[in-house]
Amino acid sequence: MTMSTLIAERHPSDPLFRADRLPHIWCPGCGIGPAMHAYAQAMVESGIPLARHVCVSGIGCTGRVPGYLNMDSYHTTHGRAIPFAMAIALVKPELEVTVYSGDGDLFAIGGNHFIHAARRNVDINVICINNFNYGMTGGQVGPTTPMGARATTAPFGNYEQPFNLPHLAAATGAVFVARWTSLHLRQLKQAMLRAMKKRGFTFIEVLAPCPVGFGRPNDIGDAMEEMTLYREGCVVDPAAPLDSLDIDLRVKDRPIVLGNFVDVERPVFDPLAMMRPTSEAENNTAVAGKTQEGQ
């Protein structure tokens, strides 16, 4: 057997990506790529035809994800992915709409949209790659930068309380809330599958290494070291109290808690419900082609 026979001509996921858009913009060791692949696999396994999936992003490194996926996708203005996605989900409820964007985009400039979409329980999935900084613009401090972590605009270390994203999502009304890392790709894919099967506002936080923007100023040598940090520092505890999910890298041995924390039912946002005949309104969960699965 020659070496060449070991090299596959095609990767099973090739049809899901736009090879003509390569090389991608992400730095070596970036955690966005593996998390994007988990999303692609989840789409395939979801049983929902790819033609019914839509991916919407804002601006930033993670915002480039829709451009690399060979599917209907939208690269919106900074922070506005959720309103775009909301419009698509309301006009075409048969579509599986996923927002795939970064922490800076979703929780700084676009934070307002997140809390209101969650409050209304709009039928979209929000996947947030959290790399603790604004990566694309050069590693500035953001609303998810852990206390004490350094950034180009926080040379003494961040002194602002960051968001505890799962807690925020649950408190504002999300019906499914999870946190995984780009090391925990199987669990991440399973969480995505659950989110796709579920009606209502779902949220998945994905912790991902940013060796250039976040790792370098914080003495994390490379992406492997940040992945090791995840492997050694993460514990899976779906029953953990939501207010205990803060990430504080200053405290040695303080675990980063992962899991699917919330999976509840709540009426899905349906502004036209009151205009429909009663019998139809009662059946609004059975939108064509997309039925709610039990717990």
Partner 1 sequence: MTVTTQAAPAATQEQEMLISGSEAIAEALTLADIDVVTAYPIRPYDTVMQAIAKKISGGKLVAEYIVAEGEHSQFEIVKHASTVGARVFCGSSGVGWAYAMECLVVTPALRVPMVAMVGNRALDDPGAFGVEHNDALFVRDLGWLLCWIDSSQEALDTTLIAYRVAEDRRIFLPIAISADGAFLTHSQAITKVPSKSLVDKFLPPYNRGDLQLHPDNPITVAPQVNEDWVIEIRRQNNAATERAYTVIEEAYADFRRVFGRGPENPWFEEYMTEDAEIILMGMGTLSLPVKVAIRKMRQEGKKVGLIRLRWFRPFPYEQLARALGTAKAIGVIDRDYSFGSPFGSGVVATEVRAALYNAERRPPLIGFICGLGGREVTLEDVYKTTEICYSAAKAGKTEQATYWLGVRE
Work out whether strand 176-181 and strand 256-263 pair parallel, antiparallel, or are unpaired. antiparallel
Closest approach, Cβ 81 to partner 1, in A, equals 14
Closest approach, Cβ 77 to partner 1, in A, equals 7
Q: Are 32 and 129 in contact (CB under 8 A)?
A: yes
Radius of gyration of the chain (CA): 19
Considering beta carbons, is residue 160 or 232 the nearer one to partner 1?
160
Contact positions with partner 1 (CB under 8 A) in 35-94:
75, 77-79
Nearest residue to 17 via CA among 54, 68, 52: 68
Binding residue for partner 1, selected from 137, 172, 228, 284, defined by CB under 8 A: 137
CA-to-CA dists, residue 204 to 24, 44, 158, 200, 250, angstroms: 23, 18, 24, 13, 24
Closest approach, Cβ 136 to partner 1, in A, equals 8
Stretch that binds partner 1, among 13-21, 84-92, 130-138, 189-197 (CB under 8 A): 130-138
Residues 6 or more apart whose Cβ sits within 8 Å of residue 107: 114, 128, 142, 143, 144, 163, 165, 168
Closest approach, Cβ 54 to partner 1, in A, equals 18
Binding residue for partner 1, selected from 65, 82, 141, 220, defined by CB under 8 A: 141
Residues 6 or more apart whose Cβ sits within 8 Å of residue 16: 40, 43, 44, 50, 69, 70, 71
Alpha carbon distance 235, 230 (integer Å): 9
Q: In sequence order, what are the beta bridge partners of 100? A: 127
Nearest residue to 73 via CA among 136, 142, 21, 134: 21
CB environment 252-263: b (16+ within 10 A), e (fewer): eeeebbbbbbbb
Stretch that binds partner 1, among 113-121, 129-137, 191-199, 257-265 (CB under 8 A): 129-137
Binding residue for partner 1, selected from 153, 172, 190, 285, defined by CB under 8 A: 153
Q: Which two tokens stand for residue 76?
A: 């919106």
Determine, following the binding rule CB under 8 A, whether residue 155 of this chain makes contact with partner 1: yes
Closest approach, Cβ 199 to partner 1, in A, equals 30
Instruction: Sketch the per residue contact string, 98 through 127, with partner 1: x for CB under 8 A, - otherwise.
Output: ------x---xx-x----------------
Determine, following the binding rule CB under 8 A, whether residue 143 of this chain makes contact with partner 1: yes
Stretch that binds partner 1, among 36-44, 115-123, 136-144, 217-225 (CB under 8 A): 136-144
Determine, following the binding rule CB under 8 A, whether residue 138 of this chain makes contact with partner 1: yes
Query: With CB under 8 A, what is the number of residues at the site for partner 1?
Result: 22
Closest approach, Cβ 1 to partner 1, in A, equals 46
Determine, following the binding rule CB under 8 A, whether residue 160 of this chain makes contact with partner 1: yes
Closest approach, Cβ 63 to partner 1, in A, equals 10
Determine, following the binding rule CB under 8 A, whether residue 172 of this chain makes contact with partner 1: no
Alpha carbon distance 96, 49 (integer Å): 9
Alpha carbon distance 84, 76 (integer Å): 7
Which residues sit at the interface with partner 1, rule CB under 8 A? 75, 77-79, 104, 108-109, 111, 134, 136-138, 140-143, 152-156, 160
